[in-house]
Structure 1
Amino acid sequence: MDRERRGWLPCLLGGAVFAVCMAGTTLPTPLYGLYREKFGFSELTVTVVYAVYAFGVIGVLLLAGNASDTVGRRPVLLVGLGCAAASALCFLAATGVGWLYAGRLLSGLSAGLFTGAATAYVMDLAPSGGGSRATFVATAANMGGLGCGPLLAGLLAQYAAWPLYLPFAVHLALVACSVAVVLRLPETVRDRAPVSAVRPQRPGLPPRVRPVFGPAAIASFVGFALFGVFTSVSPAFLAESLDVDNHAVSGLVVALAFFASTAGQSVVGRVGVGRSLPLGSAALLTGLALLAGALLWDSLALVVLSALVGGGGQGLAFRGALSAVAGASPADRRAAVISALFVVAYTGISLPVIGVGVLVGPLGLEGAGLVFIACMAVLVSGAAAYLLRRPVRTQEANS
């Protein structure tokens, strides 16, 4: 009854807080070129700075991914917002690349804390019977927030003063508002334990999940790797190869990929889990081909198309993957299996991106990008071929 009386406002407010946190993780994206000019580091350093974020996320998922089930949703979200505020302060105080590493690591810690806790909190706060809508609210908040970060930073950097400071000052103010919102929202975990009760969560794969997990993990890895390359090196490609030095345009191109992912995730319910993985893999492959064309022919239109098609494929494949592995998992192992999928996905954001940065020196940005695309195309093609031979059984996924 309490959930019904509350209506949708608490759920939507929880989603807004989720979006604010995730926006901070992509806020520096259109600003890396300015940091390169200010501190004089290489494209490899840009990719490593970006990838440090993923290491923070993976560390939290492994060590405290289930913390909100133990100590409550609100304490975990408040700690996550504290990490987000500390990250913004690092970028505001940055006098060298070390500050950027610290800021990105703290940003990863905040995202790792929010990934599971905020998703569960949004669903907890929904009215009874609103689980499907609440899932979409959480999805839209997550990916939409990631898209709003580069868009906000790009607009402020291009059309306002203090491009390396104002975006983070604005985000700090939004985080402060989010803290006030969380303090007013109800706690939804009834049986809470002290922090000392939190134990590392070891990812695991029961035998019945393994046939589904392999292709789901590959599609997730490739989708997140595509996002990683887009958010770390596409601003440099736009500036160096296409002479697009407008920060707002760079931020918009990256944002389009995340917004397309939200759209892709929203249609999984209509397409069905069994078809969303192979269709998402096909869209990812098409997005990679479009990105290759953009690199070969220096085409802004193809960059935008690759963001839209690849982002939509990522959303379709990832939500399908998440639904498939969660549905195939025994109830008492579901959290561990989902954590394993997220670890694979965030590994896709880090290692391939660093590989691109290493190859930029000998091959150039275009050559490194083409090698990345070829490797990811082989992986996603293998996953798609496996799914065509052994499609995901929806009745198994829902058992």
Structure 2
Amino acid sequence: MGVAAAIFAIAWGGNEFTPLLVMYKRDGLPVTTVDLLLFEYVLGIVPALLIGGPLSDRYGRRPLMRPAPLIAAAGSLLLAFGSSSVPMLSAGRVLSGVALGLAMAVGSSWLKELSQPPYAAESASGIGARRSAMSLTGGFGVGAGVAGVLAQWGPWPNTLPYLINVALCVVAAVLIFRAPETTVPQANPPRLIDDLKVPAAGHQRFRLVALPLALWLFTCSATAYAIMPTLMMPKVQGAPIAFSALITVITLGFGFAIQSVARRIDRPGSIRLPALALSLVICGMALAAAASATLTLWLTIATAIALGLGFGIGMVAGLLEIERIAGPSDLAGLNAVFYAVSYLGFGVPAVMAMLHDGTGVTYSVMFTVMTIAAAGCLAVVARSRRG
């Protein structure tokens, strides 16, 4: 429970910024600058994923994961008191990313190991992956919902949402100290550069199934609750931040709810779960193309539902693939590679904003191209079944 609480609190801190994108844009920050701030926490996530995972295989889970909630708290403090300073916002986003990278690579591996003997009773296959995915998605969704409501109607809209996360992270930092270590530190570790290699990343199922899924996980999220609420601002002038929070909660709420069902759909060795996830992504991107062309509220909500389902199923499908591929020595490393690729999706809003402002390409056209690209990934996954 301590590890799950830490993952939840850190995910809360990582996503509380998202519904406030509309607030920062409304208050005068350029759209591209705000979208870049959304992406900047990837600058903390990717190094923490790629280095933290292998280091935890080398030195143990606790030394890498215990500081993570406190790093998240530091990031939220910078965001709370830096609303008028882009450098402070940037630093806060990067620290939030470092914490989230450790939670995803190290925390997910630790939670998976604590969900099986000798630390827990014999459980169904995939329970660790489901607990990790649900802790992350739950934190993402609840954090965004609370932050959006407080920023729209509460006092100190630029500060209070972040201070609540600081308190949660401090509590999680205390709880995680009770969790037992699951990895024996290596007595004579090899060179660090050798630990950073992840041979399992070359596995055919990882390349042809897990990676095509990873490309779309946070592309779905960024599309649903970073791009669409911004486009819909003229239609929801009375409560734009609350609407942004609503779309975020819908996206992640459906993503969270479907994860407990997704494991029952899965069949080891088949592509039914990955194919279902990508089919929903295709549907969601097509709806996004229509919604961005018409600025219709119900189409925006339908987009959030479809992309949320695609995200939730894709997250579980990818983590299940990793559980089956990875050995004990490279589980964290393979988780790191998967999440590092997935988080590149948060760069999509900034790229699309620059294309729109620089070339005049409409969002509807860009989402149509993304629909075709998602169909291409589904074709790759389908081909792996025949291979």
Change (3 A) 1:392 1:13: farther
CA distance in 2, matches of 1:205, 1:134: 19
Aligned match of 2:263: 269
Q: Give the secondary structure class of the aligned counterpart of 2:196.
A: coil
* Partner residue in 1 for 2:129: 135
**Which deviations, in whole Å up to 9, do the C-alpha atoms of 1:266-307 show, x marking residues without a partner?**
223221242011111111111111112211221111111111
Number of corresponding residues: 377
- Structure 1 Cα separation of the partners of residues 159 and 187 of structure 2: 40
Counterpart position of 1:118: 107
Over the aligned positions, Cα root-mean-square deviation in angstroms equals 2.7
Kindly tell me: are residues 117 and 328 of structure 1, through their superposed partners in 2, closer, same or farther at Cα, counting changes over 3 Å?
closer
**Maintained 8 Å contact 2:36/2:350:** yes
1:217 aligns with 211
Mapped to 2, the partners of 1:120 and 1:266 lie a distance apart of 19
User: What amino acid maps onto 1:297 in structure 2?
Assistant: T
- Supply the distance in 2 between the matched residues of 1:50 and 1:368 (Cα, whole angstroms): 21
Q: How is 1:343-362 mapped onto 2 (pairs within 5 angstroms)? A: 343-350=340-347, 352-362=348-358
**What is the CA-CA distance between 1:161 and the residue it aligns to?**
0.4
What's the TM-score once normalised by structure 2's chain length? 0.87
Alignment of 1:174 onto 2:168: yes
**1:51 CA displacement:** 0.6
> Residues of 2 paired with 1:56 and 1:20: CA distance?
17
Distance 1:242 1:165 in 2: 23
Residue 85 of structure 2 aligns with an amino acid whose one-letter code is G
Q: Which residue of 2 aligns with 1:102?
A: 91
1:23 corresponds to which letter in structure 2? W
**Unmatched 5+ stretches in structure 1:** 1-11, 394-399
Distance 1:336 1:170, change over 3 A: closer
Query: 1:206 Cα deviation (Å)?
Result: 6.1
Between the aligned partners of 2:170 and 2:68, the Cα distance in structure 1 is 12
Superposition pairs of residues 210-249 of structure 1, within 5 angstroms:
210=204, 212-243=206-237, 245-249=239-243
Question: Is 2:63 the partner of 1:75?
Answer: yes
SS of 2:10's equivalent in the other structure is helix
Checking the alignment, whether the CA contact within 8 Å between 2:286 and 2:368 is kept in structure 1 is no
Q: Cα distance 1:325–1:342, how it changes in 2: closer, same or farther (>3 A)?
A: same
Matches of 2:381 and 2:292, distance apart in 1: 29
Does the 8 A contact of 2:144 with 2:248 survive in 1? yes
Q: Which amino acid in 2 is paired with 1:74?
A: R
Going from structure 1 to structure 2, the CA distance change for 1:204 and 1:255 (only over 3 Å counts) comes to farther
Q: Which amino acid aligns with 2:242?
A: A
Report the identity percentage.
24
Distance 1:224 1:37, change over 3 A: closer
Query: Structure 2 unaligned runs (5+)?
Result: none
The CA deviation at 1:204 is 4.3
